[in-house]
Each structure stands twice: as C-alpha cells, then as structure tokens.
C-alpha cells in the first residue's frame, strides 16, 4: 500500500465565516494555516481565496498570488488550487488560476450538481457579515455548473500547463464522465479521483456509497489506473477517512469540509484536523506521505515548474 497522502482543504467557499471563528479568511491567515497544516502532516493543501475584508469567496488572482507565494516561501507542500471556486463565479473566473499560476495540481469538478447549504439556516441565527445569510438562502437554487463544454476547457488548460487534475467525484455519474472523456482521448490515466461525499445534492457519506464508488472506479478504469482520496463532508469525515486509510485510498480533511474536531466541538485549526488523521494512520499502521512522496505517487511536475 502507498503511503497515505493527507490533503488539508484550508478554507473553501461553502463554509461561511459565522460557522467558525477559526476559519482562515485573509490571504495571510490562509497561507499561515496551510503552512501549519503541512507541518502537521499534510502533503497537499487545497486552496481557495477569500476577500480579506469580509471573507466572501474570491477569484481575484491578486488574492491567490499572495497566498501561493507565502506558502511556497515557507513550505514545499504540494498546492492544489481550486477551479471550483464558488457557485457564484463563472467557469472562466474559476479556472483562471491554472494558466496564471501553472500549479502542480488543481481541482476538476466532474459534473453539475445542486450544492445546497441552506440547511445551516436552521441553527445559525447570527451572522458576522451581511452577505452570509443571503448566500445560504440562495444556495437552495444553486446549480454548481460543470458541463461537458467546461470539461473540454479544463482538459485543454490542465494539459497545456502540465497541471495534474484532481477529479472531484460527487456522484457515480461523474465516474462515467471521466470514462467518457478518456474514451475521447481528452483525459489519460492514471486518474486521481477525489470522492466528495456528503454534499446536499449529491451522494451521501455512507460506507456502502464509498464501496460502490470505489468498486465502480475499479470496474471502469482498472485498479492500477487510478489513485483515490475521500472527502467526508461534515460528520462523515472521520468515518470515511478511516475506511480510506484501511482500503489504500488517501484522505482530505480541513475546515472547507468539516469544522468539528469531535462531536459538537469546533476544530481550532486545520492542523488539528490533520493531526487527528496522522494519529489514525498510526493506529491503523499506515505511513504518512511527505510532499516528495505525494509528488512521486501522483506523478507531479514539481515545485520548480509552477509560476508563482
Ligand atoms: N468544497 C468541496 C465539497 C473545488 O474546490 O473545486 C469540493 C471542492 C471543489 O473542493
Ligand atoms: Zn475546494
């Protein structure tokens, strides 16, 4: 079994600032939190940007540049930049980070889904920033758009910049989309699949759902033609991580996906969530990958080839 690659998803766009005072918002906070997560054992950090003044999801290259250069100055961690951004951005805005920064990795969302956040309105009554309440309400009508036209665009720019796409699989049909693009010669194995489980609008985070996605990927691609990782959104995080460590997959944790370190107790940092996975890996007898191990396992181009 390969060493375990832990990805830390630092801030995202779905977690709103009022959900946790520990969510990093400014470029400095996001970079510091990523560096700390890397020191705790994350081999990859997944990066979104936010407007420093109010934490609203940002696609501004200046915000990304500040975050990426600060991380690179302090750490050799692999940086996987989002092209998912938020459902309020156009695909062109979301994907601009790839030609601009030519990162080693980027997310590549493999299908359109409803991406609903409105259930947080049931328990969240006070908001830190004016945009947050409307953002949750509007998500009831959000479609997170990732069409075949968008796939073509992302295939072109990831290939042109030698950026390894992390294929975000929110449901089983998304595996068939990968297969379709591969059959057209637009994507080549080995694929790196990220099973995103527990978003309201897509597959849930149950054990049988993970087994099903994994089995279907093996059937479609063959066991040697893909690596995989899992995101358990919310409460599913630790259970699905345990399964993935045991099954030879990799794990993503972080405040983008889950704000709790244990039942009802907020995680104080991304590093704390990473440390929990490091302990779990140790208990289950799996070694944790360094950034150099992750580059070898995933076949990445190297930090000297990025443009920041
Ligand atoms: N927020 C996650 C559920 C992306 O950034 O492209 C999915 C994600 C997508 O991380
Ligand atoms: Zn993301």
* Shortest-distance Cα residue to atom 6 of ligand 1: 84
pLDDT in tens, 167-185: 999 999 999 999 999 999 9
Report the alpha-carbon distance of residue 11 to residue 46 in Å, rounded. Answer: 8
Over 90: is that where the pLDDT of 295 sits? yes
Q: What is the mean pLDDT of residues 241-270?
A: 98
> What's the pLDDT score for residue 97?
98
**Mutate-to-test residue for ligand 1 from 50, 85, 168, 171, highest number of ligand atoms within 8 A of CB:** 168
Coil, helix or strand at residue 59:
coil
pLDDT-derived band at 87, boundaries 50, 70, 90: confident
Residue 77 pLDDT level (bands cut at 50, 70, 90): very high
CB 114, CB 200: distance < 8 Å? yes
Mutate to test the pocket of ligand 1, among 47, 82, 205, 240 (most ligand atoms within 8 A of CB): 82
Strand partners, 57: 50
Residue 210 has a pLDDT of 98
Whole-angstrom distance, CA of residue 76 vs CA of residue 31 = 13
Q: HEC states along 166-226?
A: EEEECCHHHHHHHHHHHHCCCCCCCEEEEEEECCECECCCCHHHHHHHHHHHHHHHCHHHE
Q: Rounded mean pLDDT of 154-175?
A: 98
Give pTM, 2 decimals: 0.98
Q: Rounded to the nearest whole angstrom, what is the distance from the C-alpha of residue 245 to the centroid of ligand 2?
A: 21
> Which pLDDT value is given to residue 88?
86
The string of DSSP codes covering 210-273 is: HHHHHHHHHHHH-GGGEEEEEEE-GGGHHHHHHHHHHHT-EEEESTTT--EEETTEE-S-HHHH
Is the pLDDT assigned to residue 255 strictly greater than 90? yes
Q: What is the mean pLDDT of residues 6-20?
A: 98
Neighbours of ion ligand 2 (CB under 5 A): 12, 82, 84
CA distance 139 to 155: 27
Provide mean pLDDT across the span 71-98: 96
What is the rounded average pLDDT of the residues 194-201?
98
Q: Which protein residue's CA is at the shortest distance from atom 9 of ligand 1? A: 84
What's the pLDDT score for residue 2?
A: 96
């Amino acid at each position: 079994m390969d060493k375990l690659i832990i990805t830390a998803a630092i801030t995202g766009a779905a977690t709103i600032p009022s959900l946790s005072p520990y969510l990093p918002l400014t470029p400095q906070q996001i970079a510091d939190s990523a560096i700390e997560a890397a020191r705790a054992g994350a081999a990859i950090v997944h990066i979104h940007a936010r407007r420093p003044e109010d934490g609203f999801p940002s696609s501004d290259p200046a915000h990304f540049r500040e975050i990426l250069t600060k991380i690179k100055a302090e750490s050799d961690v692999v940086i996987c930049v989002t092209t998912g951004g938020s459902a309020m951005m156009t695909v062109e805005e979301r994907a601009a980070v790839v030609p601009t920064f030519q990162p080693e990795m980027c997310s590549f969302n493999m299908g359109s889904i409803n991406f609903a956040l409105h259930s947080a309105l049931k328990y969240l009554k006070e908001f830190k920033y004016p945009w947050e309440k409307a953002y949750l309400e509007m998500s009831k009508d959000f479609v997170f758009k990732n069409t075949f036209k968008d796939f073509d665009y992302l295939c072109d720019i990831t290939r042109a910049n030698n950026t390894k796409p992390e294929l975000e699989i929110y449901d089983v049909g998304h595996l068939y989309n990968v297969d379709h693009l591969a059959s057209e010669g637009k994507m080549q194995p080995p694929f790196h699949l990220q099973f995103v489980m527990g978003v309201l609008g897509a597959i849930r985070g149950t054990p049988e759902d993970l087994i099903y996605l994994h089995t279907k990927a093996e059937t479609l691609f063959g066991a040697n033609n893909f690596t995989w990782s899992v995101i358990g959104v919310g409460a599913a995080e630790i259970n699905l991580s345990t399964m993935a460590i045991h099954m030879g997959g990799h794990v993503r944790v972080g405040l983008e996906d889950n704000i709790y370190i244990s039942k009802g107790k907020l995680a104080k940092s991304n590093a704390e969530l990473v440390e929990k996975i490091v302990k779990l890996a140790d208990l289950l007898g799996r070694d944790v990958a360094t950034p150099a191990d992750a580059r070898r396992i995933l076949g990445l181009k190297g930090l000297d080839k990025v443009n920041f």
